[in-house]
Amino acid sequence: MACMITPEQVREALAAVIDPEIKRPITDLDMVDEVTVDNEGNVFARILLTIAGCPLAHSIEGDVRNTLSALEGVGKVDVEMGSMDDGQRAALKAKLRGGELPRAIPFAQEGSLTRVYAIASGKGGVGKSSMTANLAVAMAGEGLKVGIVDADIYGFSIPRMLGVEQPATQRENMIIAPVAHGVKVISIGMFVPDNTPVVWRGPMLHRALEQFLSDVYWGDLDVLLLDLPPGTGDVAISCAQLIPGSEVVIVTTPQAAAAEVAERSGQLAKQTGQRVVGVIENMSYLAMPDGSKNRIFGEGGGGRVAAQLSAELGYNVPVLGQIPIEVEIREGADAGTPWAGAEGDSPAQLALRNVARQLSHRARAIAGRSLGIQPN
């Protein structure tokens, strides 16, 4: 029987097999080492795993078998699983980094088109992490490629809020971030056992944030959100140093005391050269059965912060949104299913999605960027 399929067609078909962690075709990752087809249409494929003993080996092998078995003209399918040698892994790492040297932070490079937002607050308990998780999921729901760095090293909570169950994995010196709800996530909580507290001082905090930004394979992100710890300490300063082009979103509640403290986070941005793009007022009110609004934490805190920062910074700092209290926000955080990504159009869901949309569609500044044109 004449051969009805060629090795080239087999390789083309294998482009549909996606690496479960890196989220790219195995052909792009040079994992397809050898393909042969005999005169009977029997196919042999040798697939190289990026690391020996990869826990996803059976999943990849199954996807390869299913893909090849579905091809017209294919007889028996034989798949052999191997692993890359040191040279092949080094070449893959360089390919994933786009040829950049190790320790480079892609979001700090000239020409980066990723919007980086540092989600900050003056004090804890205002829902900053909850806002980060919900905004990220809402943006991903709009089709954007989104990542989160849980930069709150002492009080990490993003993995639970996003329901991250799988750990981060390491390939050579590169960390592969797990994905939840379409969002890539990295947190120190993935590296400490049994909710162990992190007892680090300033230099270690800076090093951890640097590693999250430079050693994690983020791919081509549209938006990166940094969930900062409350206040104006080491991590907030390190964020500005490591990604000078990052912008700040302030989260507060309507309460006057919370608003006063939140202003300090905005004032820090002036000292670090960052731009404050807006204020989110969380827990604005509780909708009552009769349609009235119970303003449990007072009223106007977000507006006061925005007005004060506008006056001090010399440009308009808007209130991006007022998020009402809904029990589903808390329930979603506990269950790892952010409320903004769930079905429905509650007032809080609509408000969160509206804030996400505003941040997603802000024009990118071109100051300092090369336009790729030269005079004749």
Q: Coil, strand or helix: which one is 262?
A: helix
Fold of 7-96: GMP Synthetase; Chain A, domain 3 (3.30.300)
The amino acid sitting at 30 is D
Question: What tokens does 226 get?
Answer: 């940094």
A 10 A CB-CB count for 153 gives 20
The amino acid sitting at 179 is V
106-360 CATH pick, 3.10.20.30, 3.40.50.10490, 3.40.50.300, 3.20.20.70: 3.40.50.300
Question: What tokens does 266 get?
Answer: 């905005």
Q: Output the CA–CA distances (angstroms, integers) from residue 110 to 68, 98, 103, 147, 246, in the order listed.
A: 42, 14, 15, 19, 13
The per-residue pLDDT string of the chain (376 residues; one tens digit each, 9 = 90 and over) reads 445 788 899 999 999 999 887 778 999 888 999 999 998 889 999 999 877 667 678 889 999 999 999 988 888 999 999 888 878 877 887 777 665 545 678 898 888 899 999 999 988 889 999 999 999 999 999 999 999 999 888 888 999 999 998 888 877 667 889 999 999 999 988 887 766 666 666 677 788 888 889 889 898 899 999 999 888 778 888 888 899 999 999 999 999 888 888 888 888 888 888 999 999 999 999 999 999 999 999 999 999 999 999 999 999 999 999 999 999 999 999 999 999 999 999 999 999 999 999 999 875 544 434 444 444 4
Whole-angstrom Cα distance, residue 354 to residue 368?
30
pLDDT given for residue 196 in this prediction: 66
Strands 223-227 and 115-120: parallel
pLDDT given for residue 198 in this prediction: 66
Q: Coil, strand or helix: which one is 194?
A: helix
The residue among 143, 105, 142 whose CA lies nearest residue 244 is 105
A 10 A CB-CB count for 33 gives 13
pLDDT given for residue 313 in this prediction: 93
The amino acid sitting at 72 is E
Residue burial 154-192, b: 16+ Cβ < 10 Å; e: rest:
eebbbbbbbbbeeebbebeebbbbbbbbebbbbbbbbee
The residue among 225, 169, 137, 140 whose CA lies nearest residue 51 is 169
Whole-angstrom Cα distance, residue 156 to residue 58?
32
Whole-angstrom Cα distance, residue 80 to residue 58?
11
pLDDT given for residue 363 in this prediction: 59
Q: Output the CA–CA distances (angstroms, integers) from residue 274 to 38, 236, 248, 317, in the order listed.
A: 62, 11, 7, 13
Question: What tokens does 338 get?
Answer: 């952010």
Whole-angstrom Cα distance, residue 238 to residue 236?
6
The amino acid sitting at 293 is K
Where exactly are the structural domains of the chain? 7-96, 106-360
Are the beta carbons of 30 and 94 closer than 8 angstroms? no
Place of tokens 């549209």: 222
The residue among 275, 293, 274, 277 whose CA lies nearest residue 285 is 293
pLDDT given for residue 47 in this prediction: 92
**E-strand spans in 151-274?**
169-171, 174-176, 179-180, 183-187, 216-217, 223-227, 247-252
Are the beta carbons of 11 and 45 closer than 8 angstroms? no
Q: What is the dihedral of CA 323, 324, 326, 330, to 10 degrees?
A: 40
Q: How far apart are the first and last CA of the chain?
A: 62
Question: What tokens does 340 get?
Answer: 């903004």
The total number of residues written for the chain in this structure: 376
